A and B are shown apart, each in its own frame.
Chain A
Amino acid sequence: MFDQLAERLQKAMKFLRGEGKITEKNMAEALRMIRLAFLEADVNYRVVKDFVERIRVKALDEKVLFSLIPAQQVIKIVRDELASILGQQERKLKFSSSPPSIFMLVGLQGSGKTTSCGKLAKWAVSFGKNPLLVSFDLKRLAAQEQLKMIARTLSLHFYEMTKEQMSHPPDALQELLKFTKNRGYEPLIVDTAGRLHIDEELMEELHLVRDILNPTETIYVGDSMTGQDAVKSAQLFEEKIGLTSIILTKLDGDARGGAALSIVSVTGKPIKFIGTGEKFDKFEVFHPDRMASRIIGMGDILSLIEKAEEKADLEEVEELARKLHKQEFTLEDFKKQIVQMKRMGSFSQILNLLPTAGPFGDISKIDIDDKKILYYEAIINSMTQKEKENPKMINGSRRLRIAKGSGRPVAEVNQLLKQFLEMKKMMKKSQFKKLLSSLPMSR
């Protein structure tokens, strides 16, 4: 759902990468792009305003400006901010320690409450629960019938409210509670009438249900296609009823899903499930961290950045960068690079962290033989200092000696030397030089 947002954000990031050093000026441009990306994705205007301001403050912090790769740092900041809005980790639906647990679903008309009730019940059954469904929608025509039919389709129990009961909701609710306890149903899933949040009378009705049932979870069902109003509705439900979690629906469409960010940031409550279709198995547990990464379109490249910063010997990296600049890159440096990379894990692991979409697309598809790269280290270790500095002097007999010393076939020594020379050639190309000049040389 966040494809378009991701695309726009990545454009902003690409712009920053091209800029190399981060200044107040190009950061302002990047922030403008980020702002537009979020607004186009229907994230609420004020939520965006706050969000962009927080990024601005963090991004212009010294640590970022002088970091290894400033643009990547900004990406990380955006991602972290997103994750901090969406919540860092998935949160599980809370079940009561003394059953029955009661889940009450609330929300606007047409957001998908009744369908979500069915999905939630089916999900509960999947780990051995015995849910009971009940509808307190006394207003919409055939609302009772809808949940009843869903219950029948899923072979679940449905508590039918009689006309008489409906005219005395407080008594009806007490009876319902007693019934649920006596029969040992767990959880009780309560559907409520969809309402516009400005409808005071219906809000009172919701209060009644809430006060008598005392739900374990009060779940707001939000439509992912909602625009700016998502904030207002969710906020009012939070204020008037008090919410504990969120189900986001209709994610099978191509809506840009900004409502998710608006709802969560304004209520501070976690999204626990997402609905991705009309069928009852189209219901997934929500992973906020993954969603944040997906929005940024970065796969798990962020943990890669973290790893790099954590494991790399910064002085060595800078020395390397300096040498690259001056075209003094030797085999010794090549080895150091290998050692650095090794600290971050195996190459295939690293490549797995790269997103398949975007600029890394081709790289992540490459099949890399980890062992071969480890052998490279051994081969370089078998060279003399002179050889490392001037690989051109490595003739046939030297190659044979190096092969013997490292325990690898001569062919591999040849391959390494060939690759190294190609690398050096590549470094002379203008594109690469441009990339290098974007690296900060000192801190």
Chain B
Amino acid sequence: MTGNLKEKLSKTRETFKEKFNEFLRSDRSREEILEELSESMILADVGVTSTEKIINSIRQKSKKNDSFLIIKRLLEEELIRMLSQFSFDFNFNPSCSVIMFVGVNGGGKTTSLAKLAYYFREQGKNVLMVAADTFRAAAQEQLLLWGKRLNIPVIKGQYGADPASVIYDALQSFKSRSYQLLLVDTAGRIHTNINLMNELEKIRRVISRQIEGAPHDIFLVLDSSIGQNALVQAKEFLKFSGITGIFLTKLDGTAKGGSVISVVEELKLPIKFVGIGEMEKDMLHFSPHEFVKALLS
């Protein structure tokens, strides 16, 4: 027994020693280490420009003989700092808030909206959803089915109707009853389609005319597998509809979602939630720490 324990302890000591040694010195040069780290960043969709910028700052912060672990930790700290700069809070008005979801096609807007509706319902809020996607086939039905499943009311419109008019109707019932939160699902649109982007601007105008200060939050839904187009999209959606944060979806896959780093950095926008599955519970508050860990793994 004693011998066994001793053996175990010495094994632990060995591993610790190994780790410690690795921590202290490295047989690789700093440049090799930085090269490896920038490779994993590029593979995580951080993008060449951002990667080079960040790696350069790490080069300055590190010492020449630093080991892999030390340099990696510096990088992690830097990335966490970048991602924690902006508040994750809601611009929330507890009695009356409107949250709008925007994004390109197939990003996961409707699913994310349903998750958020569920989240607030669980917190005791009185939630209403509106299906303002009057274009895509069965988009209305998709949200209606979610409403049925979560037992949350949904206002729907007719296909081909002006989405702003559907939202107008929704705002009327939202105001006349005791709802506290209205979640607005919009049709997916590619940001280069100027007419559709103008439509978003109109939707926002209609909302703000009905309720002062609304929409309180506008989430851009981004698929974590997206590449360098993320920043371009975010810029365009910011320009037309204004966005207050990112909802990063499908993070349960193998994609790392690194392209949001430049969105956060350049547009000064926080990532607020991440989607990690197809069920209503599959949503988490964004954690810079865990995101960065996964990014560099």
- Inter-chain pairs besides A148-B138, A149-B138, A252-B193, 20 sampled, C-beta below 8 Å: A40-B49, A44-B43, A110-B105, A112-B105, A112-B106, A140-B278, A141-B149, A146-B136, A197-B253, A227-B45, A227-B227, A227-B259, A228-B227, A229-B45, A229-B225, A229-B254, A229-B256, A253-B104, A255-B229, A256-B229
Cβ contact of A225, chosen from B48, B226, B250, B253, cutoff 8 A: B226
Interface residues of A in 136-156 (CB under 8 A from B): 139-143, 145-150, 153
A177 to chain B, nearest CB (A): 26
A159 at the interface (CB under 8 A from B): no
The reply to whether B142 and A142 form a contact with Cβ atoms under 8 Å apart is yes
Q: Name 17 A/B residue pairs within 8 A (Cβ), A-sorted.
A: A39-B42, A42-B228, A109-B278, A110-B108, A112-B106, A141-B145, A142-B144, A146-B141, A146-B142, A153-B137, A196-B252, A197-B253, A223-B106, A227-B228, A228-B44, A252-B192, A258-B227
A435 to chain B, nearest CB (A): 32
In the complex, A258→B252 CA distance in Å? 23
User: What sequence of 0s and 1s flags, for each residue 128-149 of chain B, a beta carbon within 8 Å of any chain A beta carbon?
Assistant: 0000000111110110111001
The reply to whether A256 and B106 form a contact with Cβ atoms under 8 Å apart is no
Interface residues of A in 255-297 (CB under 8 A from B): 255-256, 258-259, 278
B190 to chain A, nearest CB (A): 4
Residue numbers in A under 8 Å from B43 (CB-CB): 44-45, 228
A108 at the interface (CB under 8 A from B): yes
A226 at the interface (CB under 8 A from B): yes
Cβ contact of A226, chosen from B135, B146, B225, B258, cutoff 8 A: B225
Closest B-chain residue to A153, C-beta based?
A: B137
Residue numbers in B under 8 Å from A254 (CB-CB): 191-192, 229, 232
The reply to whether B142 and A110 form a contact with Cβ atoms under 8 Å apart is no
Task: Count chain A residues whose beta carbon lies closer than 8 angstroms to a beta carbon of B.
Answer: 46
A218 at the interface (CB under 8 A from B): no
The reply to whether A225 and B104 form a contact with Cβ atoms under 8 Å apart is yes
User: Chain B: residues with CB nearer than 8 A to chain A?
Assistant: 39, 42-45, 47-49, 104-108, 135-139, 141-142, 144-146, 149, 190-193, 223, 225-229, 232-233, 250, 252-256, 258-259, 278
The reply to whether B229 and A253 form a contact with Cβ atoms under 8 Å apart is yes
The reply to whether A40 and B47 form a contact with Cβ atoms under 8 Å apart is yes
User: What sequence of 0s and 1s flags, for each residue 51-73 of chain A, a beta carbon within 8 Å of any chain B beta carbon?
Assistant: 00000000000000000000000
The reply to whether B193 and A108 form a contact with Cβ atoms under 8 Å apart is no
Cβ contact of B191, chosen from A40, A149, A197, A253, cutoff 8 A: A253
Cβ contact of B226, chosen from A36, A44, A109, A226, cutoff 8 A: A226
Cβ contact of B223, chosen from A110, A252, A253, A259, cutoff 8 A: A110
The reply to whether A232 and B254 form a contact with Cβ atoms under 8 Å apart is yes
Cβ contact of B141, chosen from A44, A142, A258, cutoff 8 A: A142
- Give the dominant DSSP class at B's interface: loop
A198 at the interface (CB under 8 A from B): yes
A262 to chain B, nearest CB (A): 10
Residue numbers in A under 8 Å from B137 (CB-CB): 114, 145-147, 149-150, 153
Interface residues of A in 109-168 (CB under 8 A from B): 109-112, 114, 139-143, 145-150, 153
In the complex, A325→B284 CA distance in Å? 71
B249 to chain A, nearest CB (A): 8
B42 to chain A, nearest CB (A): 5
The reply to whether A110 and B106 form a contact with Cβ atoms under 8 Å apart is yes
In the complex, A145→B142 CA distance in Å? 8
In the complex, A112→B105 CA distance in Å? 8
A10 at the interface (CB under 8 A from B): no
Residue numbers in B under 8 Å from A145 (CB-CB): 137-138, 141-142
Cβ contact of A230, chosen from B48, B139, B225, cutoff 8 A: B225
A9 to chain B, nearest CB (A): 14
With A45-B42, A225-B104, A253-B104 known as contacts, the answer to whether A198 contacts B227 (CB < 8 A) is no
With A225-B227, A256-B229 known as contacts, the answer to whether A196 contacts B190 (CB < 8 A) is no
Closest A-chain residue to B142, C-beta based?
A: A142
With A141-B145, A141-B146, A142-B142 known as contacts, the answer to whether A256 contacts B228 (CB < 8 A) is yes
Residue numbers in A under 8 Å from B255 (CB-CB): 227-229, 232
User: What sequence of 0s and 1s flags, for each residue 200-233 of chain A, a beta carbon within 8 Å of any chain B beta carbon?
Assistant: 0000000000000000000000010111111011
The reply to whether B48 and A40 form a contact with Cβ atoms under 8 Å apart is yes
User: What sequence of 0s and 1s flags, for each residue 221-255 of chain A, a beta carbon within 8 Å of any chain B beta carbon?
Assistant: 00101111110110000000000000000101111
Residue numbers in B under 8 Å from A256 (CB-CB): 227-229
Residue numbers in B under 8 Å from A40 (CB-CB): 47-49, 228
Cβ contact of A278, chosen from B136, B228, B253, B278, cutoff 8 A: B136
In the complex, A253→B223 CA distance in Å? 15
Closest B-chain residue to A112, C-beta based?
A: B106
Residue numbers in A under 8 Å from B258 (CB-CB): 227
A281 to chain B, nearest CB (A): 15
In the complex, A443→B165 CA distance in Å? 74
In the complex, A196→B145 CA distance in Å? 22
Closest B-chain residue to A229, C-beta based?
A: B255
In the complex, A256→B107 CA distance in Å? 18
In the complex, A114→B142 CA distance in Å? 14
Closest A-chain residue to B190, C-beta based?
A: A253
Closest A-chain residue to B277, C-beta based?
A: A196
The reply to whether A197 and B254 form a contact with Cβ atoms under 8 Å apart is yes
Residue numbers in B under 8 Å from A233 (CB-CB): 225, 253-254
In the complex, A145→B229 CA distance in Å? 30
In the complex, A228→B223 CA distance in Å? 13
A47 to chain B, nearest CB (A): 11
Residue numbers in A under 8 Å from B250 (CB-CB): 108-110, 196
The reply to whether A110 and B107 form a contact with Cβ atoms under 8 Å apart is yes
B169 to chain A, nearest CB (A): 21
With A140-B278, A198-B253, A229-B254 known as contacts, the answer to whether A36 contacts B225 (CB < 8 A) is no
In the complex, A196→B223 CA distance in Å? 12
Cβ contact of A45, chosen from B39, B144, B253, cutoff 8 A: B39
